[in-house]
């Protein structure tokens, strides 16, 4: 599948078959994440692959609202991936953020790696859904994250049991400007 096909066919998947994902397929998906660009090639991302159902269920208890369908879908998928980041490297010098904003580049790095992962998964017929609405500190405690790391996002990984319609997107004319913001 070419990259544009993977981009346009990808959907957030919130229903999964219980078909297992073999190790070779999982490593292809993780390899896509590994090859993502990052600030100064800092590669601040780390991924915890959760297959243990007890740990997975504890993670889901950290949801910020009941009935988060993306998070609940981790109960059906054979794998839950928790994306973490080292916080004091991207956008930092000697462990200090270059400016207030620069301290947050770890979020960008992890997002790039996650999107590589998600698109690689889609190209292999696998489903994912970004889950962000959880207590990152509690998830970090459950997974034993060391100081200097934090949890950024979660996704189930497995074979889709639904085919959602594309969710509407803004038109290019609404989001693209030329030379100055607001100029069409």
The dihedral through the CA atoms of 56, 157, 120, 172 has a sign that is negative
Question: What whole-number distance in Å separates Cα of residue 103 and Cα of residue 112?
Answer: 16
Chain centre to alpha carbon of residue 121: 11
On the CB side of 131, CA atoms within 13 Å amount to 31
Q: Which stretch binds ligand FMN (CB under 6 A): 25-33, 47-55, 87-95, 128-136?
A: 128-136
Does residue number 116 form part of the binding site for ligand FMN (CB under 6 A)?
Answer: no
Site map for ligand FMN, 130-159, x if CB under 6 A? xxxx--------------------------
Query: Looking at 34, 51, 69, 75, which residue binds ligand FMN (CB under 6 A)?
Result: 69
Chain centre to alpha carbon of residue 31: 14
| Sheet strands side by side (includes 149-157) | 45-50, 79-86, 149-157
Question: Whose Cβ is closer to ligand FMN: residue 26's or residue 114's?
Answer: 114
Does residue number 108 form part of the binding site for ligand FMN (CB under 6 A)?
Answer: no
Size of the site for ligand FMN (CB under 6 A): 14
Does residue number 127 form part of the binding site for ligand FMN (CB under 6 A)?
Answer: no
Question: What whole-number distance in Å separates Cα of residue 101 and Cα of residue 53?
Answer: 37
Site map for ligand FMN, 9-38, x if CB under 6 A? --xx-x------------------------
Beta bridge partners of residue 128, listed in sequence order: 12
Q: How far is the CB of 84 from ligand FMN (least distance, A)?
A: 15
Does residue number 62 form part of the binding site for ligand FMN (CB under 6 A)?
Answer: no
């Amino acid at each position: 599948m070419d990259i544009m096909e993977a981009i346009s066919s990808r959907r957030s998947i919130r229903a999964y078959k219980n078909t297992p994902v073999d190790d070779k397929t999982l490593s292809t998906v993780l390899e896509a994440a590994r090859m993502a660009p990052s600030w100064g090639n800092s590669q601040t991302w780390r991924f915890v692959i959760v297959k243990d159902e007890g740990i997975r269920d504890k993670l889901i208890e950290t949801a910020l609202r009941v009935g988060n369908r993306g998070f609940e879908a981790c109960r059906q998928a054979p794998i839950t991936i928790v994306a973490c980041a080292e916080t004091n490297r991207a956008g930092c010098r000697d462990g200090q953020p270059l400016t207030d904003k620069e301290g947050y580049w770890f979020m960008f790095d992890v997002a790039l790696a996650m999107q590589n992962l998600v698109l690689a998964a889609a190209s292999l017929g696998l489903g994912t859904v970004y889950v962000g609405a959880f207590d990152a500190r509690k998830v970090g405690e459950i997974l034993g994250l060391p100081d200097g790391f934090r949890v950024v996002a979660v996704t189930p990984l497995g074979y889709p049991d639904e085919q959602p319609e594309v969710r509407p997107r803004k038109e290019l004319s609404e989001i693209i400007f030329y030379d100055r913001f607001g100029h069409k």
